[in-house]
Each structure stands twice: as C-alpha cells, then as structure tokens.
Amino acid sequence: MPNKYIALTDPLYDYLLEQRSDADDSVLEALWAETKNLGEISQMAISHDQASLMTFLVKLIGAKWAVEVGTFTGTSSISIARGLAPGGKLMCFEQDFRWISIARRYWMKAGVQDRIELRLGKAQDLLAHYRPQAPLDFVFIDADKESYDFYYEALLPLMRIGGLIIFDNMLKGGEVIHPTKRNTPANRAIDQLNHKLANDPRVQCVLVTVADGLQLCRKR
Ligand code: DHB
Ligand code: MG
C-alpha cells in the first residue's frame, strides 16, 4: 500500500489543534499552564486534541460508567467526565496526592466534580477489590506501563460488551521498534501488550497515531 499517513510538523499540529470544536478551552489551558510548571513530568498530561477525541468517544458510545487509571493533574479525567451521559460517574485511580490536589481544583473549575470519584493509592491493590455499580462503558489506562496488562485483565471483565477501553502511549515515542530502547521493561511491556491486543479475541482493537499512539479497544 502507498503511504497514506503524514508526518506531523509543529505548524500542522497547531492547525489541527485549531480545527476542533471547543478549541478555546480556558479550563484546560489554565490547567496546562499550571501542569507545565511541574517540569519534565508535565509530559504525562494528555494533549488537548486527545482530550477532544476522548470526550467525543465517550459521548459517541453514550458512556455512563467510566474508569481511569492514572489521573495525574486531571486533563484526561475532565475530558472523560465532560462526555458522560446524565447521572454518569468516572472513578479515578491515582496514587500521588500531589497531582490530585491540582486535579481536584480543576474538576471544580470544569464543573465536573460531582461526576468524579477518586481512589487514592496503588491501583493494583485497589482494583483487586473494586466492583463498579454497573458494567463499565469506558476505561482509560494511562499509568505505569508495566502494569497496563494487569489493569486490562482486571477491568475487561467489568466492562459491558461494546464498551471502549483506550490505552495511552502505545507507540512510546517510537521506542516500541527502536533497535536498543525497545528492550527497556516499559517498552517491552507496551510492545507485548500491543501484540496481545491485536490477537485477543475478546476485543476489536485499532492503534491510532493520535498523540503518542492510542489503542482503541472495543469489547466483543
Ligand atoms: C510518561 C507517561 C505517560 O503516560 C505519558 O503520557 C507520557 C510520559 C512517562 O512516564 O514518562
Ligand atoms: Mg500517558
């Protein structure tokens, strides 16, 4: 097949950021300004085009019950909560209270605080006891990469058929195929999970080149 993809440039990326509904988002912009001040770790925040896509997908499937693993300062949780159907709830798993103290303020600013619940601690321990009040419609996995597969196996049985699970950073900046860097524990874990998902009869998945690569998986 001919190359039907394009390499993004900064100006082209700026263009696509502009050409979205609700591109002017003072809450997410203020949250990004504050998150950026944290330094290098700020790269864990999801981009605003990814946030738009997640709100879009949550709305598209009519999601009411959602889970996120890895909240950081709150951009992804706001984008999920904004898309939920009336009465819907997002359960956030995060282990670092420093990030949550920022996220909480922005949940208020975005007016989604009533739709979000938090479980503070190690997600592997918390998920072992977690039972949602209804089958989950939407899951976002964006925490420590070596535990993605654990989160997947813990949450997939709690999802409804047709539910959507999104994994963040599934291209790892290209390192999944880098001759040497592919062998770090995190990169191997992501690569192994991509292979597993692509061959997993329980889901239908597609790896899209939004942000750092998103695996979109629909439960069959
Ligand atoms: C890292 C983690 C993320 O989830 C992300 O989106 C970007 C970077 C990291 O661990 O460096
Ligand atoms: Mg991420």
Could you state, in order of their start, the residue ranges of all structural domains in the chain?
Answer: 25-165
Q: What is the mean pLDDT of residues 59-65?
A: 98
pTM of this structure: 0.98
Residue having the nearest C-alpha atom to atom 11 of ligand 1: 44
Place of tokens 């706001």: 78
Of 70, 67, 69, 94, the residue nearest 80 (C-alpha): 67
Q: What topology does CATH give the domain 25-165?
A: Rossmann fold (3.40.50)
- The answer to whether 75 touches 105, Cβ cutoff 8 Å, is no
Model confidence pLDDT, tens digit, residues 165-216: 999 999 999 999 999 999 999 999 999 999 999 999 999 999 999 999 999 9
Residue 30 tokens read as: 């203020």
Ligand 2 center from residue 1 Cα (angstroms): 30
Q: What is the mean pLDDT of residues 49-67?
A: 98
State the CB neighbour count (10 A cutoff) for residue 8.
Answer: 12
Ligand 1 center from residue 143 Cα (angstroms): 8
Closest ligand to residue 167's CA = 2
Q: Tell me the DSSP string of 47-98.
A: PHHHHHHHHHHHHHTT--EEEEE--TTSHHHHHHHHHPPTT-EEEEEES-HH
Average pLDDT of the residues of the chain: 98
Please give the pLDDT value at position 2: 86
Residue having the nearest C-alpha atom to atom 2 of ligand 1: 44
Residue having the nearest C-alpha atom to atom 3 of ligand 1: 44
Ligand 1 first shell, C-beta below 6 A: 43-44, 142, 168-169, 212
- Alpha-carbon span 54 to 188, nearest angstrom: 26
Residue 175 CB burial class (10 angstroms; 0-12, 13-18, ≥19)? middle
Model confidence pLDDT, tens digit, residues 20-30: 999 999 999 99
Please give the pLDDT value at position 7: 94
| pLDDT band, residue 80 (cuts 50/70/90) | very high
Residue having the nearest C-alpha atom to atom 9 of ligand 1: 44
Residue 54 pLDDT more than 90?
yes
72 φ/ψ angles, rounded to the nearest 5 degrees: 50, -135
Q: What is the mean pLDDT of residues 74-96?
A: 98
Our measurement of the distance from residue 4's CA atom to the centroid of its chain's CA atoms, rounded to an integer in Å, reads 26
- Alpha-carbon span 144 to 200, nearest angstrom: 22
Please give the pLDDT value at position 1: 82
Percent residues over pLDDT 90 in the chain = 99
Pocket probe mutation, ligand 1, options 42, 44, 47, 141, max atoms within 8 Å of Cβ: 44
